[in-house]
Structure 1
Amino acid sequence: MKAALRTYHARMQRVLDHIDRHLDGDLDLETLSRVAAFSKFHFHRQFAATFGLSVHRYVQLARMRRASRQLAWNDAESVTDIAMDAGYDAPDAFARAFRQRFGQSPSSFRKSPDWAPWFAAFGPLDNARNNLMQINFTPDDVTIRDVPPTPVAIMEHRGDRATLGATIERFKAWCKAASLSPETGRSSFMVFRSERCPANPADYSMDLCVGTDQPIEVNDEGMKAGVIPGGRCAVLRYPGNTNNLEPAALYLYRDWLPDSGEEARDFPIYCQRRLSPIAEMPAHEVVVELFLPLK
């Protein structure tokens, strides 16, 4: 039964990957049901039951998330072109929908993004992917690896996760100015020093890191030099982007670690993203590895 469930969810994963690759294309029910190899008469109900939102709503949110990222990080593209890419016939309609969702006009968001409403707006999109993550892990997905120590530049985020987006934006700007953006082939890391949702939101804590051995000068952004320690780690590889690795971490701590006979080392769990710590790329182009340091 478990194997059948994994196969079912693998078919649904194909649908999400297809949507990521074809946001500019025709993503109607008939097309997506063919991708999943499900009956078109039942697919919309199967999708909603699996992900908690309709196909139309998922596609709409995915296109709007791409549009908001283009606004924040691509000054060369006009608001009109971004609106058209998001499936809107006119910039005015896009602006109304954008303001309703984020509380800012597209031009205002481009100048000074308010990330708290952004995170809240895309919660359903992240939850949809997390619904697959929560049941798809098995011991075969975890490998034990000896990793070398990695010198990094660190930007700390301390405080409510609702403000994390602003920290990420500063981190991205610093990396670009220091020629350490993903295009240079640098590794990027997130070190999770607290729960995703601590009882007191002010206790949320994580580090944004980029691999570099160059000297880090004192600056207004609060960057500092550090090291991701080497040693044995349990590594859970997750192909596809997610803004919530909590289900993967929960699997490692709750299921894999007790059965493995291993003991965790005194360093927080962390992830490495192949392309970017900010998830600018489509989900199918991102590979995330979650590292649990072991003794």
Structure 2
Amino acid sequence: MDLDTFAKNIFDLEEHKKRMVKAIQYIDNNLDTELSLEKVGEIAAYSPFHFHRIFRLITGETVQNYIIRKRIEKSAFYLAVKKNISLKDIYLELGFSNHSTFSKTFKKYYGKSPSEFRKSAPEKFHTIQLKQSKNGQIDAVFQQYICNIENLLNWTTMNLKIKVTDLPEMNLAAVMSLGIANVEPSFNILVDWAKEKKLFPRENVKMISVYHDSFKVTPPDKVRIHACMLLDERLKQQERQVFPETIEAGKFIIGSGEMTLNDFEQCWVSLFLWMNENNYSVRKAFPFEIYHSNFKEHPEGKMIVDFCIPIN
């Protein structure tokens, strides 16, 4: 391969990733609308044929499967935590035309009807795990967490300093990660970009993870996480895999503590539980983590983290 061909291939790869970011963001922000292959392909500046092939190559699933999965996962979240919303309101909001289609599709993913799924959520906090059954169908398994509500709240009090406060708008540089295993490589891409821009290292630099999916309803290898860096000024446009993202100003529950990576799930579970116990409700925005230290520089692998939940 000559140098010109090599350079063109690298450019094409970066351009594909850039366009795919736009497509996925558009899908996730418009789950309540009609999302045709033609429309999403147009957003990404591809013909439907090429977009379908490239999307599947990059994400590991077809565009339609991705859209359906995202709608079903969001409906599962509503069923589990928003008991006051009717099934009809949920499936209509997420683009399903009738109860029969919604129920059949939901059961295919979680092994239960929406009504059964909602009833199965125990009073004690739980996580939802997906596992492959013997007959090849995917079942939803509600697994009781390590401890009951009382013990979990005690753990929260002992390990997290919690406050409710307003945060200003935050301008971020972000790299998309599909799957938990790809978060660290995404941060590496972000840091390399920041070094080129003389933005890293610098004093009090803040690295942030923004969660665009919930581990309760999305498998770890499908969760979309944005590896981010806080900037002093808004990034004007996407540069290779690095794109601008904004966390809007608003009210947040913030749980702060020194944790290992293995503590993160319990921190999130306990913080959402604290939110419910104190009668706060989640705002339509994404939760995120702010890192104040590097676990690789600590002898016990600990880091100082703010766990942030947007609330009304």
Normalised to the residue count of structure 1, the TM-score between the two structures is 0.47
**Larger strand proportion of the pair:** 2
TM-score (norm 2): 0.45
Larger fraction in helix? 1
